[in-house]
Amino acid sequence: MKYQVNFFVNEEPVELYVDANKTMLTVLREELDLTGAKEGCGAGECGACTVIMDGKPVNACLVLAPELDGKHITTVEGLADRKGNLSPLQEAFIKHAALQCGFCTPGFLMTATALLKENPHPTRDEIKAGISGNLCRCTGYKRIIEAIEDVAAHTEGGERK
Amino acid sequence: MKQFNYLAPKSLPEALAFLAEHGDSAVVFNGGTDVVVRLRDNLIAPEYVIDIKKIPGLDTITFDEKTGLTIGACVTMNEIGANEFVQKYYPYLGKAALSVGSKQVRNRATCIGNIVNASPLADTGTPLLANDAVILAEGPEGKREIPIREFFIFVRKTALKKDEIVTAIRVPYHAGSEGVYTKISRRREVDLSTVCATVVRDGDDWRIAFGSVAPTPLRLVKTEELLRGKKLDGALIEQAAELAKTEVAPIDDVRASKEYRVTIVGLIVKRSLEALAK
């Protein structure tokens, strides 16, 4: 049996018929070709699949596809504006070389975007606590933290002033 | 993940009617942070998954001094941590809720789910147990109140019947009571408790609950009895810590050895009593 879901992804309305035994992550990646969110652990430990659902960061691997009905989802593909200009956070990740293989990067960007919206000027410790649900196995966290600090110092909630 | 039917009833009677018929082959679905993992690993293979998040009225926290704190079934861990009444009257419960998983997990995971899962190391188990919380359940025969001490039966086994849904948990209020929550884990976030505990002081009464040291979260009744009505001093604290170690029955597992856990139990009791003695 398929379940009809109507929801918004990056402000675009979507109507789909989904299987109950699929996750939001599978739907985003396989039905909508939004492959930014990654599956690392599939159990809510690594944060590589983080997306923003109704304003809050969640693990897309732990949301069942039929739950999408009525939700507003932002993925990493929705961070740039319509002209393709990257968000200040994305630019800061590039400037600080806060990535290496890039697998964890979309998850970090989504978690940090949500963090800055909630707390526009976090301390270093608040940043560390804020991103502790995301694992990086190659860059190390130092540059990621520095990129977020940079945006916190120069923007209001991650938005351009 | 095997195939299943997904239902999102819009009222409690609708959900209960469905459970009355299909309770044996259904799993109640809340934040999903545990159930999705168990579905994915085929540890459970229900025919029906019943999402209760569309049922109105289950997503609120209320407080008054007479009733205490009432946490609705669908309130998330982050909502508990941010709640003004929790912060004011039950800060250690807030700390426990915010020690679960990651920020992303806590935006979905619920306290009620944590309790119904009945893991021995449920992070929110001990603050509720130390406050003699009451589980509010509803089934075909109406409402039922289950004291939390009778709720946990064994690892992942509770007193909840297959046709019942937990609608809320009530945490009694004791004016002036204070508590300390401790979680020992290998890392600070996104880890399961090696040992977790809550010690509550309510005047001259002490209530001590431990997790991950027995098949269910556990009250250390002998230690509580030893302390009752007495003035705390160094010798009594040492005595309580030693007695506490005899009341637990931990096992060796991937997170720690039995011996480590027993030692930690004594240490947590000592540190919690010292903190609350001030």
Section B243-263 average pLDDT = 95
- Please name the residues between 70 and 109 in chain A that touch chain B, using a CB distance below 8 Å: none
Q: Which residues contact B42 (CB under 8 A, 6 or more apart)?
A: B1, B2
β-bridge pairing A50-53 and A72-74: antiparallel
Count of structural domains, chain A: 2
- Final residue of a domain: which of A78, A98, A118? A78
In a domain, A161, yes or no: no
Indicate if the pLDDT at residue B117 is higher than 70. yes
In a domain, A159, yes or no: no
* Residue type at B255 in one-letter notation: R
The architecture in CATH of the region B5-51 reads: 2-Layer Sandwich (3.30)
Cβ pair A21:B39 closer than 8 A: yes
Indicate the SS3 state at residue B239: helix
With CA atoms as reference, the chain B residue closest to A63 would be B32
According to CATH, what is the number of the domain B61-171? 3.30.465.10
Cβ pair B102:A47 closer than 8 A: yes
Cβ pair A66:B102 closer than 8 A: no
B190–chain A Cβ distance below 8 A for any pair: yes
In a domain, A141, yes or no: yes
Q: Of B6, B40, B190, which is closest to A42 when you measure between CB atoms?
A: B40
Same domain, A63 and A130: no
- Final residue of a domain: which of A27, A55, A78? A78
Q: Is the pTM of this model over 0.80?
A: yes
Neighbours of A61 (CB within 10 A): 27
In a domain, A160, yes or no: no
Same domain, A22 and A67: yes
For an interface test with A, the pick among B50, B104, B110, B191 (most A C-beta atoms closer than 10 Å) comes out as: B104
Helix (H) or strand (E) holding B111: helix B111-117
Supply the CATH number for residue A7's domain.
3.10.20.30
| pLDDT tens per residue across all 161 residues of chain A | 899 999 999 999 999 999 999 999 999 999 999 999 999 999 999 999 999 999 999 999 999 999 999 999 999 999 999 899 999 999 999 999 999 999 999 999 999 999 999 999 999 999 999 999 999 998 789 999 999 999 999 988 887 75
Indicate if the pLDDT at residue B188 is higher than 90. no
Q: What does the pLDDT look like over A83-124, one tens digit per residue?
A: 999 999 999 999 999 999 999 999 999 999 999 999 999 999
A36–chain B Cβ distance below 8 A for any pair: no
Cβ pair A133:B104 closer than 8 A: yes
- Final residue of a domain: which of A52, A78, A104? A78
Same domain, A130 and A149: yes
B254–chain A Cβ distance below 8 A for any pair: no
- ipTM exceeds 0.90, yes or no: yes
A119–chain B Cβ distance below 8 A for any pair: no
In a domain, A47, yes or no: yes
Domain ranges of chain B: 5-51, 61-171, 180-277
Residue A139: per-residue pLDDT: 76
Residue A1: per-residue pLDDT: 87
Section B97-121 average pLDDT = 96
Cβ pair B51:A58 closer than 8 A: no
Same domain, A128 and A149: yes
B126–chain A Cβ distance below 8 A for any pair: no
Same domain, A69 and A105: no
Q: Which residues contact B55 (CB under 8 A, 6 or more apart)?
A: B9, B10, B11, B12, B15, B74
Q: How far is CA B68 from CA A81, A119, A138, B58, B116, in A?
A: 48, 31, 48, 17, 21
Residue B189: per-residue pLDDT: 82
Section B229-256 average pLDDT = 95
A126–chain B Cβ distance below 8 A for any pair: no
Spell out which residues of chain B touch residue A132, defining contact as CB-CB under 8 Å.
Answer: 102-103, 188-190
In a domain, A120, yes or no: yes
Q: Residue written as tokens 């675009």?
A: A12
The parent domain of residue A111 ranges over 88-154
B186–chain A Cβ distance below 8 A for any pair: no
Q: How confident is the model at residue B81 (pLDDT cuts 50, 70, 90)?
A: very high
Supply the CATH number for residue A135's domain.
1.10.150.120
Instruction: Give, in degrees to the nearest 5, the angle at Cα B103 between B100 and B105.
Output: 65
Q: Of B1, B49, B102, which is closest to A133 when you measure between CB atoms?
A: B102
Cβ pair A58:B49 closer than 8 A: no
Cβ pair A44:B189 closer than 8 A: no
A139–chain B Cβ distance below 8 A for any pair: no
**Tokens found for residue B14:** 């609708």
Pick the CATH number of B180-277 from 3.30.365.10, 3.30.390.50, 3.40.1280.10, 3.30.70.1380: 3.30.390.50
Indicate if the pLDDT at residue B80 is higher than 70. yes
Residue B153: per-residue pLDDT: 97
Residue A161: per-residue pLDDT: 59
Q: How far is CA B199 from CA A153, B178, B213, B217, B254, in A?
A: 41, 8, 15, 13, 26
For an interface test with B, the pick among A67, A111, A126, A128 (most B C-beta atoms closer than 10 Å) comes out as: A67
Helical spans, DSSP H, in B23-108: 35-40, 77-82, 84-89, 91-97, 103-106
In a domain, A83, yes or no: no
Q: Of B3, B36, B105, which is closest to A64 when you measure between CB atoms?
A: B36
In a domain, A122, yes or no: yes
- Distance, in angstroms, between B183 CA and closest chain A CA? 16
- Distance, in angstroms, between A160 CA and closest chain B CA? 25
Select from B194, B195, B184 the least CA-distant residue to B255. Answer: B194
